[in-house]
Amino acid sequence: MVEGTEFPGLFIINRNPRVDARGSFERIFCEDELLKLGIKHRIFQVNISENTQRGTVRGMHLQAHGAADSKIISCIHGAVWDVVIDLRRNSPTFLKKFAMKIDEFSHQSIYVPKGFAHGYQTLADNSTLLYFHDAPHVSIAQRYLNPFDPKLEIKWPIEVTEMSDLDRYAPILSDLEESEFIE
């Protein structure tokens, strides 16, 4: 079952695992269900992000300049606080954030459309995320926003224990030209 959010095009996918004495079986992606919502999500690339330490922050990331991608994000081990920022200039939720906990037990994924920056903080050691992208990664189109930018108003739920220098020293919104990243 797919449910909408207040953000146009951003959806929560509630998966329905089948459980028996052997364990469980769960569908993570169903093109037909997304098509019913008008979402054409061709899987072009699948990525796994493994994070060893609780408190790790990754983000805020996006691709720009015609290389933007939509993604379906699932936490398949551990738990994360997942955050997206709407950077679509004509959206009613422009520069607003959506955040929620996803974990291996919630059986939820997030569908993030083009035009959003994405990041997360791990809430458990050894947290693993699975991404289904509808476009390839293009290095020259990669953009970073500082996850501590006061304008983004992201309140990370626990102490930050690890992050890359690329994220830590990423520019804040006021230091960027809007054309750099906003769709």
Q: What Rg do the C-alpha atoms of the chain give, in angstroms?
A: 16
Nearest-angstrom CA–CA distance, 41 and 35 = 8
CA dist list (Å): 86 to 4, 10, 36, 51 = 15, 9, 23, 25
Q: Which residues contact 33 (CB under 8 A, 6 or more apart)?
A: 2, 13
Q: Residue 171 has what DSSP assignment? A: P
On the question of a cis peptide bond just before residue 163, with omega within 30 degrees of 0, the verdict is: no
Give the CA dihedral 145, 69, 8, 15, nearest 10 degrees. -110
Q: Is 138 exposed, middle or buried (0-12, 13-18, 19+ CB in 10 A)?
A: middle
Q: Write out the catalytic residue numbers.
A: 61, 131
